[in-house]
């Protein structure tokens, strides 16, 4: 074929594809950036599955605004710079309506800042840092999961009613670990002024040599220990703590540690009697939620984890916002997200107009080993909605003013 021939064929193909896409309604494209490989990867698989389930379900019902929804998944490899690169590609190349996702706090912040600069809507699913909606908050970012502050406070409300006064803490030397402790400690001291802190331990994230820390904590002889370790550090810590009898001597409060992500890998070694925040998917008495668990388990042959619930709710929220805006225009969507009400498997939640934080809450309960299933579970749990622990609009305004 000569050169003119090639050009003519290409032009023909282009025309064909244009007319084809005009005939069928083009799908609504959503860009999903998450750590599918790298440091966040242990937790993103079940999240992605729930997102796919949400999209399949909505498309089976005819999509949103009569258009199919298509999610483009991109891997940030656990690196903020990579996430920004994916955001650029999704928005400028794929022309997605909005960006959603992220697990790690620093990745979430990088994407959020990019979204602010480029006037793109960003729905942060899982990152926990308060900075996303508060000190670094802006008009184009919304967050689904209850943040570090909220969860620390939920635990403090309970621990403040208990007898323990001598406290120690151990957590990763990251912003998350420090903030998880500070929010808990400050509220605890308000509720119980005689609280005394006897030790703070900040091992390196992902590199915990647990033995010496357990010994040091035991030597400080606290009544109670606040733990913000997670992932592999938490698993290693449990092993060493049990060998040295820490859980028998000390009451333990663990932020996030009731989430299946962190308690399931321990199987029957899960420590009993801890006060935790988490997600007791096996024991939530709401019909819609039972149905969600049944659908998820049937589809993927394993139980959902908190990430799955967050992923599902994130996309339900996005669909609802598009419906409310009746458009995929960014300005209309951000306006729709302010005060957006969403019916979720765990009941209604809304997105606060003042900071874009959702009112999704968390469950606070006590751990026990379920011998039948061979894993740790939460018992005597209570759902604490976000409204109960979130700061008021005035306080939020103050926190966002430095921006």
Cβ contacts of 34 within 8 Å, gap of 6 or more: 40, 44, 47, 48, 73, 74, 75, 76, 101, 102, 103, 125
* Residue 88 near another protein by CB under 8 A: yes
Applying CB under 8 A, does 29 fall inside the site for another protein? no
42, 160, 280, 347: which one binds another protein (CB under 8 A): 42
Question: What is the distance in angstroms between the CA of the first residue and the CA of the last residue of the chain?
Answer: 60
User: With binding defined as CB under 8 A, does residue 80 bind another protein?
Assistant: yes
Contact between 290 and another protein by CB under 8 A: the answer reads: no
Instruction: Find where tokens 């040295």 sit.
Output: 244
- For another protein, which is the closer residue by CB, 167 or 174? 174
Minimum distance of another protein from residue 31's CB (angstroms): 12
Q: Are strands 375-384 and 362-370 parallel, antiparallel or unpaired?
A: antiparallel
| Residue 42: CB minimum distance to another protein, A | 5
Strand, helix or coil for residue 80: helix
Which secondary structure element, helix H or strand E, spans residue 9, and what is its range?
helix 3-23
- Residue 12 or 206 having the CB closest to another protein: 206
CA distance 363 to 224: 20
- Scanning residues 296 to 355, which ones bind another protein (CB under 8 A)? none
Query: Applying CB under 8 A, does 17 fall inside the site for another protein?
Result: no
Please give the backbone phi and psi of residue 143, each rounded to the nearest 5 degrees, phi first. -130, 140
Kindly state whether residue 45 participates in binding another protein, applying the rule CB under 8 A: yes
Residues contacting another protein: total by CB under 8 A: 63
Residue 106 makes contact with another protein by CB under 8 A: yes
CB 268 within 8 A of CB 371: yes
State the binding string over 133-162 for another protein (x if CB under 8 A, else -): ---x--------------------------
Out of 56, 269, 343, 395, name the contact with another protein by CB under 8 A.
Answer: 269
Minimum Å gap between C-beta 191 and another protein is: 27
Is residue 105 near another protein by the rule CB under 8 A?
Answer: yes
If the CB atoms of residues 83 and 159 are measured against another protein, the closer one turns out to be 83
Question: CA angle 204-207-210, nearest 5°?
Answer: 95
Q: How many helices (H) and strands (E) does the chain have?
A: 14, 14
CA distance 323 to 60: 16
Q: Alpha helix (H) ranges present in 44-203?
A: 45-60, 80-88, 105-118, 148-159, 175-191
3-state secondary structure of 17: helix
* Sign for the pseudo-dihedral over CA of 83, 87, 88, 89: positive
- Show the tokens assigned to 343: 């019916």
Which own/partner pairs from 348-351 qualify as long-range (CB within 8 Å, at least 24 positions apart)? 349/313, 349/317, 349/385, 349/386, 351/142, 351/317
Q: x/- binding map, residues 177-216, to another protein, per CB under 8 A? A: -----------------------xxxxx-xx-x-xxx-xx
Q: What are phi and psi of 343, to 5 degrees?
A: -85, 120
Per CB under 8 A, the list member of 30, 229, 266, 321 interacting with another protein is 266
Cα–Cα distance measured from residue 348 to residue 317, given in angstroms and rounded to the nearest whole number: 11
CB of 150 to another protein, least distance (A): 18
Instruction: Give the range of 75-83, 159-167, 314-322, 357-365 binding another protein by CB under 8 A.
Output: 75-83
Q: Could you say whether residue 75 binds another protein (CB under 8 A)?
A: yes
CB of 237 to another protein, least distance (A): 10
Task: Select from 14-22, 129-137, 308-316, 322-330 the region that touches another protein (CB under 8 A).
Answer: 129-137
Contacting residues toward another protein, per CB under 8 A: 36-39, 41-42, 44-45, 74-75, 77, 79-82, 84-85, 88-89, 92-93, 105-106, 109-110, 112-114, 116-117, 129, 131, 136, 173-175, 200-204, 206-207, 209, 211-213, 215-216, 231-233, 235-236, 239-240, 243-245, 265-267, 269
């Amino acid at each position: 074929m000569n050169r003119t021939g090639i050009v003519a064929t290409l032009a023909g193909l282009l025309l064909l594809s244009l007319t084809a896409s005009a005939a069928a309604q083009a799908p609504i494209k959503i860009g999903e950036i998450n750590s599918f490989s790298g440091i966040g990867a242990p937790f993103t698989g079940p999240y992605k599955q729930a997102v796919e389930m949400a999209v399949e379900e909505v498309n089976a019902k005819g999509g949103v605004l009569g258009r199919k929804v298509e999610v483009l998944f991109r891997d940030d490899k656990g690196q903020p710079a990579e996430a920004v690169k994916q955001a650029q590609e999704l928005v400028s190349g794929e022309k997605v309506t909005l960006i959603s996702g992220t697990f790690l706090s620093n990745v979430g912040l990088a994407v959020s800042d990019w979204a602010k600069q480029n006037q793109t809507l960003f729905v942060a699913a899982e990152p926990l840092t308060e900075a996303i909606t508060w000190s670094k908050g802006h008009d184009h970012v919304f967050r689904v999961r209850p943040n570090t502050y909220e969860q620390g406070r939920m635990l403090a409300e309970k621990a403040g009613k208990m007898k323990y006064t001598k406290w120690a803490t151990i957590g990763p030397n990251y912003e998350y670990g420090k903030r998880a402790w500070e929010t808990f400690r400050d509220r605890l001291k308000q509720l119980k002024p005689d609280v005394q802190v006897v030790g703070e331990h900040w091992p390196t994230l992902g590199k915990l040599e647990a033995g010496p820390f357990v010994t040091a904590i035991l030597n400080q002889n606290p009544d109670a220990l606040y733990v913000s370790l997670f992932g592999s550090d938490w698993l290693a810590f449990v092993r060493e703590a049990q060998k040295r009898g820490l859980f028998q001597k000390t009451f333990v409060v663990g932020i996030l540690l009731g989430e299946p992500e962190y308690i399931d890998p321990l199987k029957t070694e899960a420590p009993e009697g801890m006060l935790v925040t988490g997600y007791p998917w096996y024991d939530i008495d709401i019909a819609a939620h039972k149905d969600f668990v049944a659908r998820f388990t049937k589809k993927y042959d394993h139980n959902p984890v908190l990430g799955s619930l967050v992923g599902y709710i994130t996309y339900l929220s996005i669909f609802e916002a598009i419906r409310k805006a009746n458009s995929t225009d960014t300005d209309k969507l951000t306006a729709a997200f302010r005060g957006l009400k969403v019916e979720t498997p765990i009941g209604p939640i809304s997105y606060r107009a003042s900071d874009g934080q959702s009112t999704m809450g968390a469950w606070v309960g006590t751990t026990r080993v379920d011998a039948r299933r061979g894993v740790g579970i939460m018992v005597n749990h209570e759902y604490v909605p976000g409204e109960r622990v979130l700061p008021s609009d005035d306080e939020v305004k103050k926190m966002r003013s430095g921006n």
